[in-house]
Amino acid sequence: MLSVIDFIHTSRDRYISELKHYLAIPSISALPEHAGDVRRCAEWTGEEMRRVGLENVRLVETPGNPIVYGEWLQAPGAPTILFYGHYDVQPVDPLDLWESPPFDATVRDGEIYARGAADDKGQVFMHFKAIEAHLRQAGRLPVNIKVLIEGEEEVGSKNLDNFVRANKALLASDVVVISDSAMFDHGVPSICYSLRGLAYFQIDLRGTKSDLHSGVFGGAVANPAMVLAQMLAQMKDKGGRIKIPGFYEDVRPLSEVERAAWRTLPFNEKKYRKDLGAPKLAGEKEFSVLERVWGRPTFEVNGILAGFTGDGAKTVIPAVAMAKVSMRLVPNQHPDKIAELFEAYVRKVAPKTVELKVTRMHGGKPWITEYDNPFVQAAGRAIEQGFGKTPVFCREGGSIPVVSTFQEELGVPAVLFGVGLPDENAHAPNERLDLSNFHNGVVASAILYEEIRKIG
Ligand code: BES
Ligand code: MN
Ligand code: MN
C-alpha cells in the first residue's frame, strides 16, 4: 500500500495535466449540437480506462449516448466493486460570467476551473488514478472492479435503467461506489447516505392563436402569462408547503435520532445565508435548513417564458406562456405517482380560458441506505486515512437517478463518497475542484479498495 500511495504523491502534476485533456471535451448531453463531443468524450474515457490497466473496455451503444464499460476481475474470492460515474456535463451558459473558458481548464489558487471539474469528470478521474496506482505499483488490485461511466446523467439517465435491468449478470457486484457529490464543507469530508429524487415538467399555455394588441382586445381574453403566474402561485402556500393533494402521502418522516445527528453538524445558518447572497432564507419554518434541503420535498419553478421581455415597452397580450417546473422528492415518494398527482392538480387549477399542455421531462427516484453497513464503514476508514479527518454522515439534496435502480436491481448497497465542495459551482459558471481534495481523494480511493478487500 505504501508504494501505491508514494506513486500517487509523485504523480500529482501529471494527474493535473492529464485531467485537463478530459476537461477540454465539451460533453454537454443536453445540447444536440454537442453529440459529436459527447461521443468523443466516451471514447476518451474508454482510452483512459485502457491506459490505467482496465480490461475488456468497450463502448456500449444505447438509443442515446454510449455507456463506457471496463473491468479488472483478477482477484478471485475478493469482493467486486461496481464503480459508477458520468462523463457528460451541464451546459455552460451564461458564458460571459466565466473567468476562464469552461473547456480550457485553468488552475488558480489550488483549484482547477472547468465545466465538469467537480461534476463529475474530476471525481471519475480520481478513481481512474487510484486504479492506475495499484496496477502500476502492485500489478494488481486488492478487489475486483467493474467500471460503468455513462453519458446521460445530466439529462436524467434515460437509457441507463434499461441497461442495468438487461445486464444484471455483467454488473453483478458486492457494492456500488460513486463519487459524484460534495463534502459537507471545506475540511469536513463526508459520506452521503441519501439523495433526493426528481420529477420534472414543462407547462405550456395558449390563450389565442396569435399575440394581440392589448388595448384592442385587453379585457376580453385571458392573458396566458398572468394565468400561468396564478397557476404557479397555487402550488405552494405561504408557509412553503406544497398544495398538490396527496403530495406528502409517502414522505417518510425524519426521525428524532436523525434530526439530532444533523444538529451536531458544523453548520452556520448566518454564513450560509450570506454566502448565498440571500436577504433572508425561506422555507418550512418547522424544519431546519439542513432538514429542508436534505429531508423535505420541494417544488421549484426552473424557468418561465412569456410575452415581451426586451428593452422598452410593448403593449401586447402574449398568445402563449411556458414554464419548466420540478419537484425534488424524498424517500418514499415515487416520481410516477407524483407526476399523476401533479398533472391532475395542474388541470384542476387551469382555467377554461387557456389550452393546457403538460409534458413530462425526466425523473428519478430518491435513495436512502442504512449507513451501518460494512462498506460504508470501510469508506469512512478510507476517507479518514486520505483526508486525515473522520467523515461526517450526511444526506444530499441533489439527485443521481440510477442509484436506487442499482439498489433495487442488483440488490447491493451503494457508497457515495464525493470530494466536491458545496460552493464549487457545479452547474454554474466557474465550476471548479479543489486540487488538494482531488489528491486526497485519489489516496482515499486507493485505500478504499484495500479496505473493501478486508471485508472479504
Ligand atoms: N452530481 C449531481 C448530483 C448531486 C449534486 C448529488 C450534489 C449530490 C450533491 C448530478 O450530476 C446532478 O446534477 N443530477 C441532476 C439529476 C437530474 C438531471 C436528473 C440533479 O440533481 O439535478
Ligand atoms: Mn454529477
Ligand atoms: Mn450534475
Between the CA of 399 and the centroid of ligand 1 the distance, in Å, is 4
- In this structure, the residue with its CA closest to atom 19 of ligand 1 is 156
pLDDT digits (tens, 9 = 90+) for 183-221: 999 999 999 999 999 999 999 999 999 999 999 999 999
* Ligand with an atom nearest the CA of residue 181: 1
| CB-count burial class (<10 Å; 0-12, 13-18, 19+) for 422 | middle
Q: Report cis status (omega within 30 of 0) of the bond before 94.
A: yes
* DSSP secondary structure, 264-292, as one string: TS---HHHHHHHHT-SS--S-TTS-HHII
In ligand 1, the atom with minimum distance to the C-alpha of 200 is 19
pLDDT at 371: 76
- Name the band, by pLDDT with cuts 50, 70 and 90, for residue 163: very high
Report the amino acid identity of residue 216: V
pLDDT band, very low/low/confident/very high, at 328 (cuts 50, 70, 90): very high
Q: How far is the CA of 81 from the centre of ligand 1 (A)?
A: 22
- 86 CA distance to ligand 2 centroid (A)? 7
pLDDT given at position 223? 98
Q: Is the peptide bond before 120 cis (omega within 30 degrees of 0)?
A: yes
> How much is the pLDDT for 217?
98
| DSSP structure string for 128-194 | HHHHHHHHHHTSS-SSEEEEEEES-GGGT-TTHHHHHHHTHHHH--SEEEE--SB-SBTTB-EEEEE
For residue 427, the ligand 1 atom closest to its alpha carbon is: 13
Statement: residue 289 has pLDDT above 80: yes
361: pLDDT strictly greater than 80 = yes
Taking only the tens place, the pLDDT of each residue in 39-89 is: 999 999 999 999 999 999 999 999 999 999 999 999 999 999 999 999 999
456: burial class by Cβ within 10 Å (0-12, 13-18, 19+)?
A: exposed
How sure is the predictor about 166, in pLDDT bands with cuts at 50, 70 and 90? very high
Q: In the predicted model, what is the mean pLDDT of residues 226-245?
A: 97
Question: How far apart (Å, rounded) are the C-alpha atoms in residues 337 and 358?
Answer: 15
Res 456: pLDDT: 82
Q: Residue 161 has what pLDDT?
A: 95
pLDDT, mean over the chain: 97
Give the model's pLDDT for residue 275: 95
**18-36 pLDDT, tens per residue?**
999 999 999 999 999 999 9
Neighbours of ion ligand 3 (CB under 5 A): 119
> Residue whose CA is closest, atom 16 of ligand 1?
399
Is the per-residue pLDDT at 377 higher than 80?
yes
Task: State the pLDDT confidence band at 375, using cuts at 50, 70 and 90.
Answer: very high
Residue nearest to atom 4 of ligand 1 (CA): 398
Examine the pLDDT at 394 and tell me if it is beyond 90: yes
Pull the grid cell for residue 55: 480490461
- How far apart, in whole angstroms, are the C-alpha atoms of residue 357 and residue 346? 10
Please tell me the predicted confidence (pLDDT) of residue 370.
Answer: 84
How many alpha carbons lie under 13 Å from residue 263 in its C-beta half-sphere? 9
**Residues 198, 346 contacting (CB under 8 angstroms):** no
pLDDT of residue 372: 82
Reduce the DSSP state of residue 112 to 3 states and report it. Answer: strand
- For atom 8 of ligand 1, the residue with the nearest CA is 181
Reported as a pLDDT band with limits 50, 70 and 90, residue 2 is confident
Tell me the three cell numbers of residue 31: 445540447
Q: Is 363 helix (H, G, I), strand (E, B) or coil?
A: strand
Band (pLDDT 50/70/90 cuts) for residue 95 is very high
Q: How far apart are alpha carbons 319 and 334 in whole angstroms?
A: 35
Query: Taking CB atoms and a 6 Å cutoff, what residues make up the pocket around ligand 1?
Result: 119-120, 153-154, 156, 180-182, 195, 198, 362, 364, 396, 398-401
User: What is the Cα Rg of the chain in Å?
Assistant: 23
Give the separation between CA 87 and CA 68, rounded to whole angstroms. Answer: 9
In this model, does residue 1 exceed pLDDT 90?
A: no
Distance of CA 222 to the CA centre of its chain: 39
Alpha helices in 295-398 (DSSP H): 335-349, 374-387
Instruction: Tell me the ligand closest to 86's alpha carbon.
Output: 2
Nearest to 443 by CA among 170, 130, 155: 130
β partners of residue 204: 322, 357
pLDDT at 30: 96
Retrieve residue 187's grid coordinates: 475540511
